[in-house]
Copies of this chain bind each other. A is one copy, B any other.
């Protein structure tokens, strides 16, 4: 173990959504999440080359409203449910608040703006990576 190893990540873009409050956001994209725009920093435009309308993507986000000091949660915020480790749950509260979202590309505008659905991430959520869905791997 090498304690205290830390790394710096930077936003490559941001989510623009009508969802503005964690209290009102669906817990998973499959639970009625809306479409949203993903605005990528033009510095990363070249990295989007090859993404097409209709394609499935995994968006990796930084859940900036997540609490990083929480190690256990009640699943789905239900106090009746037994506390569970955050690594066994999908809570946004976790040591590194990384979110994974399977979305479909509905439209590409101005080379760096992707309209996608469904996306349960809040407006202003930083996007830190985008990956294509491959069969046999995560999301495939």
Interface residues of A in 1-55 (CB under 8 A from B): 1-14, 28-30, 39, 41, 44, 46-51
Tell me whether B28 and A47 are in contact (CB under 8 A). Answer: no
A41 surroundings in chain B (CB, below 8 A): 1, 3
A58 surroundings in chain B (CB, below 8 A): 100, 138
Tell me whether B50 and A88 are in contact (CB under 8 A). Answer: yes
Q: How many copies does the complex hold?
A: 2
Number of residues from A at the complex interface, CB < 8 A: 59
- A11, A44, A47, A72, most chain B CB atoms within 10 A: A47
Give me 5 A-to-B residue pairs in the complex whose CB atoms sit less than 8 angstroms apart, sorted by A's number. A1-B14, A49-B72, A49-B84, A102-B137, A138-B139
